[in-house]
Amino acid sequence: MATNASTSNGMPPNEIEVRDLCRRFGRQEVLRHLDLEIAQAQITTIVGPSGCGKTVLLKHLNLLLRPDSGTITIEGVEVTRLGNRALDAVREKFGMLFQAGALFDSMSVFDNVAFPLVEKTNLKSDEITARVNETLAAVGLDGMGDKYPSEMSGGMQKRAALARALVRRPRILMLDEPTTGLDPTRTGAIHELIRSTQKNFDLTVVMVSHDVPAVFQISDRVAFLNHGETHLHGTVEEVMAAEDAVFKRFLAGRAAGDDDGASLAG
């Protein structure tokens, strides 16, 4: 199997392994026997046409949804059948940046970022203040703690949401379209931030992105999803070199600004 081959080649071990994952909503099969490996301390980027199941896959990885069948192994623990309490223990390992940011709009940015520490740790309030300010600085938001999410631009909201995802120093960071809705300059800045954060905190990053091909510059590995299956999967070089008609068409459609990518059947 590909996994074994890559491990013996001196590749990093897998932080997350997905096997034969199936999930349907009503009659719609969204994930169809999906396999995927997420390598430790690398950035794995998931790309694919709109509606192909990227967000649904991510929501399975962070245990918001349960699969109909198949397994997900996180750091050697099979998580799909865990009870709620055990799930919460697994959840402590990761931070998540949602597609819509998901900042609590009733709280200031400082309180948003402090929230996971206040709720889930026993840190004292001066320790929390120090940690929050440090994390805000790391995402380039020093001194912005008093603002409310509604007073900030889209790019700043993403940074604040990233700070909240990072504040408990997770091992795994999941990002759902961190740059959607941002202009190219801001997109580049957020990409830089993701790369530097990954290095600084030695994170395993799983990212869903629409910014093809720009996002490949900061990615180590790429998974191309189509119709709920992993169509292509490998290092950026391997995937870009692959002679695959469907992937080529996806890239061409992206370059032409075709946001639906709906014409990928067959």
Ligand X SMILES: Nc1ncnc2c1ncn2[C@@H]1O[C@H](COP(=O)(O)OP(=O)(O)O)[C@@H](O)[C@H]1O
Residues near other proteins, by CB under 8 A? 59, 62-64, 87-88, 91-92, 94, 96, 98-105, 115-116, 119-120
d(CA 154, CA 160): 10
Which of 128/239 has CB closer to ligand X?
A: 239
Binder among 6, 55, 112, 157 for Mg ion (CB under 5 A):
55
DSSP 48-115: -STTSSHHHHHHHHTTSS--SEEEEEETTEE-TT--HHHHHHHHTTEEEEBTTB---TTS-HHHHHHH
Look at the chain and count its residues. Answer: 266
Taking CB under 6 A as the binding criterion, the range among 47-55, 74-82, 134-142, 251-259 that sits at the site for ligand X is: 47-55
- Contacted entry of other proteins, Mg ion, ligand X, none for residue 94, CB cut-off 5 to 8 Å set by kind: other proteins
Query: Judging by beta carbons within 10 Å of its beta carbon (0-12, 13-18, 19+), is residue 259 exposed, middle or buried?
Result: exposed
The structure tokens 């402590």 sit at 92
In the region spanning residues 54 to 73, those forming contacts with ligand X, defined by CB under 6 A, are: 54-56
| Residue 100 binding target from Mg ion, ligand X, other proteins, none, CB below 5 to 8 Å by type | other proteins
Cβ of residue 91: shortest distance to other proteins, in angstroms? 5
Q: Interface with ligand X by CB under 6 A: which range of 45-53, 123-131, 163-171, 247-255?
A: 45-53
Q: Which residues bind ligand X (CB under 6 A)?
A: 25, 30, 50-56
